[in-house]
Structure 1
Amino acid sequence: MSNDPFAQLKAIQREGWSLFAPLEAVTTATAAELAKHARIRAGQVVLDVGCGTGVVALTAARAGAKVHALDLSPVLIQHGRQHAALAGVEIEFREGDVEALPFESSTFDVVVSQFGHMFAPRPDVTIAEMLRVLKPGGTIAFSTWPPEHYVGQMFALVGKFIPPPPGAAPPPQWGDPNIIRQRLGDAVADIVFDRSVMLFPALSPQHYRKGIEETLGPVVKLVATLKDDPAKLAAFRAELDGFVARYFENNVVRQHYLMTRGTKK
């Protein structure tokens, strides 16, 4: 990555997201929704980008697809390999960057990403790579966080305390259908959107906040950055607790998300 202007950002992401594994418990059900939305079926060759611990990859492999999975974090890749071994399915996991996919052009029938590719800093590079490795007539599908709902607003709150690096696109932009259409451009036809809700169990807003402080990359980074500024850290926590409370009911935090599907021309 020596010539990558965002090499330092990606190194930070690699470290921060290494703690994500416990959150697979709440992303497993949404993985099945994405696999269904992408219409993954037996015999297809599938790439899961930003695969994390492999919840979408595992779902696709259990459906009979031939699956490759890629993530920046070697820690999460190792979790994915363990899950695949336990399930008795074959998945080719590898460490890598969505902005420089290590695959030949027109390799995959389906390219998917669940809340993963949206964290790459350059959407134009990201989508160009995802489409490059997709076969003509193949399916691109992904889940993202709309800016107007809880997670998008939470990332905006994080950005108030630690602004993103100059030139890096805000991840929640990937949750806006208008922006998605612009980014996919003329290369993709038959774009379909669907919406759903992730239910995140929690005993209180504070319990939820403590959990994401220990597992969710951007929040992990923020807490580490503010550790020597207790007043500012307390202000962030108070604002986040109040914000979470608006989405907290019946011991779950409701997190709305968007699914997109399109066909490469």
Structure 2
Amino acid sequence: MTIQAEHITDTRGCQAIDVLKAKQKATWEDGDYVRFASFMEKGAIDIVTDWQLTPGQRLLDVACGTGQSALPASRRGLRVTGVDLAQNLVDFANSRARAEGLDARFDQGDAEALPYKDADYDVVVSMIGAMFAPRPDRVSSEFGRVLRSGGTLYMCNWTPDSMPAQLFKAVAKRVPPPPGSLSPVLWGDENTATERLSEHFTDIRLQRKLYPKWHYPFSTNDLVRLFRTTFGPVKKAFDAIDGDEQQTLFTELNNIYRNFSLPDGKGGITIQGEYLEVIAKRR
């Protein structure tokens, strides 16, 4: 989502941030993110499988969504906690954990003020999640606070050139971000990510990758319809405009998906979504 605000510093700053976070929460709770995330779950499992995670480690998934990263880690024997701003996503993740008999817990909470003790985790992960928090300096500080010395941070963040970045630009035309806001995809820029993390982390390793197995068994037209009904930021953008503008946005998103996808020869597409993988050690 492109509603970002690191530098709201006037006398109403605290109130403005509270309003912003309330809007973000409502946006991510809108639509049907559970269905939206289901198409990206196979890729999330592949990414988590590649990470150097050890059974018994204490892992915190920040902005965990429906548990796409946390649940695979729990299945591998890690002691998992997840936290997300959206209550309905937390509820869904907890229900999945119970259904599978996994020892994983999910809490509603804020990436900028994590409700956990200092140095309480061996691993912190955030897959396309904490990059949307309004104030990245606080996110980085919280990552460092809850990780033990020598612990590992894993992040996946959309790059500024990625398909999602183009989608966010299209959304921002219809739902403008507050003045002074920062794009979430700055977390996908190598220099920016390094600068934000360097105070608390060392051995920062960065690599651009394509999100694996991001496949839809239908056309780009149907993909626009899926995003319009299930993905909160896109749904909000369509809700904010009239019929003619809706058709313009529909066409714009359709072109973006076509430009960043490969046909599978069976009427479906695979999205070519570039992200920056960040792996860093807590000082």
Following TM superposition, the consecutive aligned residue runs of length 4 or more in structure 1 with deviations greater than 6 angstroms are none
Equivalent residue letter for 1:151: P
Aligned mates of 1:59, 1:193 — CA distance in 2 = 23
TM-score, length-scaled by structure 1: 0.93
Report the AA paired with residue 220 of structure 2. Answer: P
> Which residue does the alignment assign to 1:220?
235
SS of residue in 2 equivalent to 1:125: helix
- Give yes or no for the alignment of 1:197 onto 2:211: yes
Letter in 1 for 2:81: H
Conservation of the 8 A alpha-carbon contact between 2:221 and 2:254: yes
Q: How does 1:10-49 map to 2 (within 5 A)?
A: 10-18=21-29, 19-49=32-62
Residue 170 (structure 2) pairs with residue 170 (structure 1): no
Give the match's secondary structure for 1:109: strand
Question: After alignment, is 83-92 or 25-34 more displaced?
Answer: 25-34
SS across alignment from 1:48? strand
Structure 1 counterpart of 2:221, from 206, 231, 235: 206
Following superposition, the deviation at residue 149 of structure 1 comes to 1.6
3-state DSSP of counterpart to 2:90: helix
- Which residue is 1:184 aligned to? 197
Q: Distance in 1 between matches of 2:84 and 2:173?
A: 27
Across the two proteins, how many residue pairs are aligned to each other?
Answer: 262
For 1:95 and 1:207, the matched residues in 2 are separated by 32
* 1:163 partner SS: coil
TM-score (norm 2): 0.87
Contact 1:173 1:179 in 2 (8 A): yes
Which has the bigger relative contact order, CA under 8 A and spacing at least 6? 2
Among 127, 134, 143, the alignment partner of 1:121 is 134
Secondary structure of the equivalent of 1:139? strand
Sequence identity, in percent?
32
Q: 1:54 aligns with which of 54, 58, 67?
A: 67
1:7 equivalenced with 2:18 (yes/no): yes
Counterpart-to-counterpart distance in 2, 1:37 and 1:4? 41
The structure-2 alpha-carbon separation of the partners of 1:14 and 1:50, relative to structure 1 and needing over 3 Å to count, comes to same
Q: Are the equivalent residues in 2 in contact too, given 1:144–1:259 (CA < 8 A)?
A: yes
Q: Which residue of 2 aligns with 1:257?
A: 275
Alpha-carbon deviation of 1:202? 4.2
Structure 2 unaligned blocks of 5 or more: 1-12
| 1:142-197 superposed Cα distances (whole Å, 9 cap, x missing partner) | 11111112111111221122221223321111111111111112421112223133
Return 251-260 or 142-151, whichever deviates more.
251-260
Asked whether the 8 Å contact 1:38–1:261 carries over to 2, the reply is: no
User: Is the 1:34–1:259 Cα contact (8 Å) retained in structure 2?
Assistant: no
Displacement of 1:4: 5.2
Cα separation, partners in 2 of 1:169 and 1:222, compared to 1, 3 Å? same
Give the secondary-structure state (helix, strand or coil) at the position aligned to 2:198.
helix
Tell me if structure 1 keeps the 8 A contact 2:39–2:215: yes
Q: 1:202 to 1:257 in 2, by over 3 A?
A: farther
